[in-house]
Structure 1
Amino acid sequence: MEVLGIDIGGSGMKAAIVDLKSGEFVTKRKRYKTPQPATPEAMMVTVIKLLKHFEWTGPIGCGFPAAIIDGTVKTASNIDKSWIDKPLANMIRKATGCATRVMNDVDVAGLAEMRFGAGKGHEGTVLILALGTGIGSALFHNQQLMPNTELGHIQFKGDIAEAYAANSIREDEDLSWEVWGKRLNQYLVEVHKLVWPDLIIIGGGVSKKFKKYEKYIDEKLKVIPAELKNHAGIVGAASQFL
């Protein structure tokens, strides 16, 4: 089965057709900038552009940067606040005539890692953390997703955790890998106390640089890098139809 996977983020909207048997792209990825302001009207225009680019009429899976309940947007941090309570899945269905499923963007990236990447075959509790502008989380138990966790937003060091240990903080404050790696470790130890994962998978852009900070992470924690890198969001979005 082939599905159009759309990964919607605060800065870019990316899509490709995915073969759900292999988890591989059938086409090259297409990316458009997320319109600013990122209003529902403007972003839906870009969704239609992606559809037309692929001449697509089949099922659509979408990852979106918000908590999603029954296809409806419940939060808005990197998008326009007017998204809150918009029925995104129905909006895409009406605009395209295509069967549509929508979930949180980190949750779908987690689905991809659990089905085709670093989490494949892992039972027990697995926590996936996407370290980027913020810290996104996806929590699985025995391969079942517990949706819409926001473990980057726990109170930590007088603020939310992502204000201390996100990759954007490393870049903005020009932190060395050692300083940032130790900050990340403090956060991982704290999160471990909350959900007791058997495995933590680090995603986001810094997953490629894992060797640079691996030695600063407590060896009692089982932490590994994600495998699917930039493909995870699109593959996971499509894999909602598995």
Structure 2
Amino acid sequence: MAKAIGVDIGGTGIKAGIVDLTHGTMASDRVRVPTPEGASPQDVLTAVQTVLQKLEVADSTLPLGVAFPAIVKRGKTLSAANVSKEWLDFDAERFFRDGLQRNIIFVNDADAAGVAEARHGAARDVPGLTLMTTLGTGIGSSFLYNGVLVPNSELGHLNFREYDSVERWAATSARERENLTWVEWAGRLQEFYSHIEFLFSPDLFVVGGGVSKNADDFLPLLELRTPIVPAIHRNNSGIIGAASLAGD
């Protein structure tokens, strides 16, 4: 059984696990530590070292993929919405490769989640354009056309009303911060998904992130022409996708 390690760095937590690449499933328990306050590169690296030790794979030769909430281009992070500004134009892949003393693949977290769902989840064998969104601290997005990733979309940063980023109004963090009911939050999601449906005419929406486990509380409230479904791998999609890309 081919295996790889996936690490998913989020705005509030860093999660990791060993992945069965053949079936796209977790081959270990998932481990998690809180994302360090401020999320500076060195503090995040230390936290990743901690989750690898918890998994007992710190010295493993398995391929390792790291998913991160930023635009990632040729190993560099080009944005820093919910982490330290030190990540702007930062050679993250080299930094982690040197810090962990091993080869890694560094990828946007929503892109990793999209790859997991395209290969092994809700978007598998779906023709045309699948648009995946991850709802959490922010809103991540990934485009998959006939299963092929088009990287580094940032739909959570669309301008909306008085907000510089729609994620500040419609992410899971906004629902929690403002104590919105599911109905109130679904009203915001309706505006977001209707807008991107108009812009891109996708064939399928897939919704991931931790809140996807509560999909029955809000997805049925949305009225869209496009089918919209929860991610099959839920909050493990980033881990599975990062590991899958490392396994490539």
TM-score of the two chains, using structure 1 as the length reference: 0.93
Q: Residues of 2 paired with 1:43 and 1:115: CA distance? A: 28
Could you report, residue by residue, the CA deviation over 1:126-161 in whole angstroms, capped at 9, with x for unpaired residues?
000111122111111111111111111112223232
2:51 matched to which residue of 1? 50
Q: Secondary structure at the match of 1:115?
A: helix
**Counterpart amino acid of residue 35 in structure 1:** P
Q: Residues of 2 paired with 1:32 and 1:212: CA distance? A: 27
2:23 matched to which residue of 1? 22
| Equivalent in 155, 159, 164 of residue 159 of structure 2 | 155
The answer as to whether partners of 2:208 and 2:237 remain within 8 angstroms in 1 is no
Could you report, residue by residue, the CA deviation over 1:175-227 in whole angstroms, capped at 9, with x for unpaired residues?
22222212211111101111110101111222222222233211422111111
Moved more, 52-61 or 19-28: 52-61
1:175 matched to which residue of 2? 180
| Equivalent in 136, 141, 144 of residue 132 of structure 1 | 136
1:69 matched to which residue of 2? 73
| Equivalent in 204, 207, 231 of residue 236 of structure 2 | 231
Q: Residues of 2 paired with 1:214 and 1:19: CA distance? A: 29
1:28: how far off? 1.6
1:173-212, aligned counterparts within 5 Å?
Answer: 173-212=178-217
Q: Secondary structure at the match of 1:32?
A: strand
Q: Secondary structure at the match of 2:38?
A: coil
**Counterpart amino acid of residue 115 in structure 2:** L
1:164: how far off? 2.4
**Counterpart amino acid of residue 26 in structure 1:** A
Instruction: Indicate yes or no: 2:86 matched with 1:82.
Output: yes
Distance 1:162 1:96, change over 3 A: closer
The answer as to whether partners of 1:16 and 1:234 remain within 8 angstroms in 2 is yes
Q: Residues of 2 paired with 1:112 and 1:195: CA distance? A: 21
| Structure 2: gaps (5+ residues) | none
The answer as to whether partners of 1:157 and 1:164 remain within 8 angstroms in 2 is no
1:125: how far off? 0.3
Aligned length: 242
1:58: how far off? 2.5
Q: Residues of 1 paired with 2:236 and 2:79: CA distance? A: 24
TM-score of the two chains, using structure 2 as the length reference: 0.91
Q: Secondary structure at the match of 1:128?
A: strand
Could you report, residue by residue, the CA deviation over 1:68-103 in whole angstroms, capped at 9, with x for unpaired residues?
000111111221111222212122222333221111
Once the two structures are aligned, what percentage of the paired residues are identical?
38
The answer as to whether partners of 2:127 and 2:145 remain within 8 angstroms in 1 is yes
Instruction: Indicate yes or no: 2:165 matched with 1:164.
Output: no
